[in-house]
Amino acid sequence: MTQPGILDGAPTGARPGTPAGALIDAASDLAFGQVVGLRLDAQEHRDLAAIAQRLAAQPPGLVDDARWLAAARDLSAELPLRLRQCLRRFATDAGAEAMLLLRNLPVAADKLPDTPSHADSVQRGSTVPASVLTLIALSLGEPVAFREEKSGALVQDVVPVPGMETFPGNAGSVPLSAHVENAFHPHRPDIVGLCCLRSDHDNRAGLQVASIRRALAHLTEEARSVLGEARFRTAAPASFGPLGTTAPAHPVLAGDPADPDLIVDFESTAPVDEAAAAALRELAAALHAVRRTVVLAPGDLALVDNRLATHGRTAFAARYDGRDRWLQRVFIHRDFRRSRALRPGGGHVLTSRPGD
């Protein structure tokens, strides 16, 4: 039975930027601001925990194993109804904020080991949090990873790493600038999931999400026009190694000018001329003006539509005492087949060039 006011929202996709159904009355419930969200109730929490525990026990107990993923795919059909409805709506139309915030997920926060503290930390074992994240990813599409990043693991730890405080990536703790995940890659994720297992000590680290659907109105016609032209180049992160030729020129706003996709990483997207540089600065200011900041709590999962929004993070202080901030991350493709040429053997790990 649908709860009044939870799923009976505005029609989905009435026009670009319309929230994907007001899944909750945000202002009166969770103070999400305008972010669309769903907090699992106690029964849904228990039901999801039971499914995740069943999945965690499936052989061989390894997230990246095809048999385990097959079991997860089947079990994802058993998620609580309201959660499945919510995910289905988000998959079709991510709304004006291009973000869905799920709360009160069972991540066994009281049973967690110490927060890992090395740069390449990933979650290979089928823990309950990794099972929850995989179940939700498989409700939206297929989880994917990049071979050159985090050893191609599907569930990756996002933790502060000693000595890497100023690193412009997931291991850092200084502000992380706004970016579309793997913006350089032809098959960048469609959706990025960030699940909070443990908050930072001071509850300061804010996930910042900025949607082009809201920023578009802040841009001049001139900037929109320039951003829609192939006058930008986005370099791959150093971790991907030399990819041969110079990055190809691409538009930052692609597709329907009234509801474009966004392809930008403010650390690594470079304009090719001065007009493009001015348009990029204007875009940065527009995205900054509309950004939403969410301090994730344990059991929160932020799903960001990586085609429509940038994400970044405010600064926080790491202590490296085993109780630092710990997120687990997953990348999702809605259309798995589309990237087949860059997935050797049909697996879930992407390369950067055919034949690699």
State the residues that interact with Fe ion by CB under 5 A.
Answer: 181
Whose tokens are 């370099």? That residue is 235
Closer to Fe ion by Cβ: residue 55 or 209: 209
Whose tokens are 């301090």? That residue is 295
Q: Are 56 and 70 in contact (CB under 8 A)?
A: no
CB of 106 to Fe ion, least distance (A): 25
Q: Which of 128, 98, 257, 270 is nearest to 189 (CA)?
A: 98
Quote the strand ranges of the chain, DSSP E: 36-39, 99-103, 142-146, 156-158, 176-179, 191-198, 207-211, 232-234, 249-250, 253-254, 261-262, 269-271, 292-294, 301-305, 309-313, 326-333, 349-350
Report the distance separating Cα 78 and Cα 41, nearest Å: 16
Q: Which of 36, 341, 307 is nearest to 181 (CA)?
A: 307
Give 153's contacts (C-beta < 8 A, 6+ positions apart).
63, 64, 122, 123, 124, 145
Cβ-count burial of 288 within 10 angstroms (0-12 exposed, 13-18 middle, 19+ buried)?
middle
CB of 1 to Fe ion, least distance (A): 38
CB of 329 to Fe ion, least distance (A): 8
CB of 100 to Fe ion, least distance (A): 17
CB of 317 to Fe ion, least distance (A): 20
CB of 121 to Fe ion, least distance (A): 15
Closer to Fe ion by Cβ: residue 61 or 168: 168
Report the distance separating Cα 64 and Cα 349, nearest Å: 10
CB of 311 to Fe ion, least distance (A): 6
Closer to Fe ion by Cβ: residue 157 or 181: 181
